[in-house]
Each structure stands twice: as C-alpha cells, then as structure tokens.
Amino acid sequence: MGVVLVVIFVVCTVNYVREPNLIPSPAGLNQAGAKSEPLRPAPELAEDRKVTEQDCSKPVDLSSGNLRCK
C-alpha cells in the first residue's frame, strides 16, 4: 500500500512540475466548482422603487423594493 502511495505522489509531483497551473485557483471558481465569469458591478438602483435599509446579517425582506445593507 505504501508503494502505491509513493508512486501516486511521484506522478502527481512530476505532473505539477511540468504544468503547475493544472489546479485552478479557488478564486476563479464558483460554488459548484465551475469557472466563473469575472465579477461585474451591481446594477444601478431603480429610481421608481423605494430603497429599504436593512441589517443584512439577519434575514431580509426582499419584497420591499431595493435593498441597502447597513
């Protein structure tokens, strides 16, 4: 069993030395593990909707218009 683990370790090390970017950075992945698109800024708030300021560390009411977190 130990020999198998050593062989796997050596193969992985050789592959990493040849191609160090085989494992993507976690920053470039979404929660499902797929590559994500670059972050975009949030859209502008709709002027005809009211803005409610809520404590976003607690459950928020999403039905009350645009949300601004405190």
pLDDT in tens, 30-45: 555 555 566 778 778 7
- 8: which DSSP letter? H
State percent of the chain over pLDDT 90: 6
Average pLDDT over the chain reads 76
Mean pLDDT to the nearest integer, 11-37: 66
Please report the pLDDT score of residue 6 as a whole number.
Answer: 93
Spell 54-70 as b/e; 16+ CB within 10 A means b.
Answer: eeeeeeeeeeeeeeeee
Specify the pTM. Answer: 0.31
pLDDT beyond 70 at 21: no
How buried is 52 (Cβ within 10 angstroms: 0-12 exposed, 13-18 middle, 19+ buried)? middle
Domain ranges (residues) in the chain: 2-36+46-69
